[in-house]
Amino acid sequence: MRKSGIELLRILGIFCVISIHACGIIENLPVQGAGAETVRLLNCLGNVGVSIFILISGYFGVKRDWLKIIRLELMVVFYSVCAAVLMRLVWPQDYPRSEILLLLEQSVLPVLTRKHWYFTCYICLLVFAPYINLPVEKLSRKGFGTLILLGYFLFGLAPTFLRFEIMRDGGKGLVNMILLYYIGRYIRLYADWKMKRGACILLLTVFLGLAWISTFIPVRTMLFALDFLNDYSFTMTGIAVTALYLFKDVCFTSKGVNRIAAHVFGIYILNEPVMRLLNVWIFHFDENKTAGKLLPLWLTALIFAVFICCLILDVLRQSLLGKTEKVLAGRIREAAGAAIAVLRERKIPERITALLKEEPRKIENPNHQ
């Protein structure tokens, strides 16, 4: 059984993700007083959620598992199609026929259309795991550390302090994900020491404080721009790494915590549509609520309600469709394996390679004498 400390951190990570999406519900409404400070705090914590997931993946390591990849794909397709149909029924004026067809297209091909950026990047991480893990296996400790430092300087530190960003994705892309994965692997292989709890809390306070200050004291010049809230920033990475050190050595086991953590991916996929529906049916966020003193309580209630509803839905899906999903995934893998075997038997890859290597023939000019 896995340590429940890290599984608890995984659960806290999904709360961070839900929190940032909750801020999106009220982003176009006026917010004042304690509500404004709450929104700032949630914005500081929200972007660290996915970084926590990736660091945990790096800490344990990932391998290519086609059955797991297919099952995740089936789960996301099922949830996405159901959400698209429900959105059409609830908001027909916002989702005309052309819009719903596009949404269904994205729902059927979630990886290729990047419907959920983290899901797309995670599937890519699983598919290319044998190659992504090569530096981990082949490089020395010094070489692997140098690779991480160079990568983080270009894709983390530089865009944190400068107005320029190489990838232009705010850290929500495959490059930052692989970099965080490598950091998680490095911690497990070479830096798996126990950090004092007081030091962890102090570091978390410093990183969170810097991120919070940057929300109301923007620094932006022709060259420099302090960006402490994007996924690639050293504050978000610092919070995620420190949280991993804080929770990885928490020694307790809980079947309940581990079972809840097993549903985090499903909660991640479901949280946005569920949040929109709860806002329409129950919470009704408007200017009166966002300007009032009770906004922190309303936001907290929304976050927990979304988490509980998504957890219940994913438990139901797994209970009702889990066996069918497993059988279907196995058959898809078998069919794909049989198709690849046929291609290999007919030497299709070799023929394509030979064709690519073949030099183009010279075409003679018939008018040339």
In a domain, 367, yes or no: no
In a domain, 172, yes or no: yes
In a domain, 42, yes or no: yes
In a domain, 346, yes or no: no
Return per-residue pLDDT of the chain as tens, 369 residues. 677 999 999 999 999 999 999 998 998 888 877 788 888 888 888 889 999 999 999 999 999 999 999 999 999 999 999 999 998 888 888 888 888 889 999 999 999 999 999 999 999 999 999 999 999 999 999 999 999 999 999 999 999 998 888 998 989 999 999 999 999 999 999 999 999 999 999 999 999 999 888 887 777 777 788 888 889 999 999 999 999 999 999 989 999 999 999 999 999 999 999 999 999 999 999 988 888 889 999 999 999 999 999 999 999 999 999 999 999 999 999 999 888 888 777 777 677 777 676 665 555 555 554
Domain span at residue 73 reads: 4-320
In a domain, 345, yes or no: no
Helices (H), the chain: 4-25, 34-46, 48-60, 66-90, 97-108, 117-127, 129-132, 134-138, 141-152, 158-161, 174-190, 197-214, 234-248, 255-261, 264-278, 287-290, 295-345, 348-357
In a domain, 355, yes or no: no
Count how many domains the chain has. Answer: 1
Evaluate if pTM is beyond 0.85.
yes
- Could you give the C-alpha distances from 289 to 24, 283, 297, in angstroms and in order? 15, 9, 10
- What is residue 358's predicted lDDT score, i.e. its pLDDT? 64
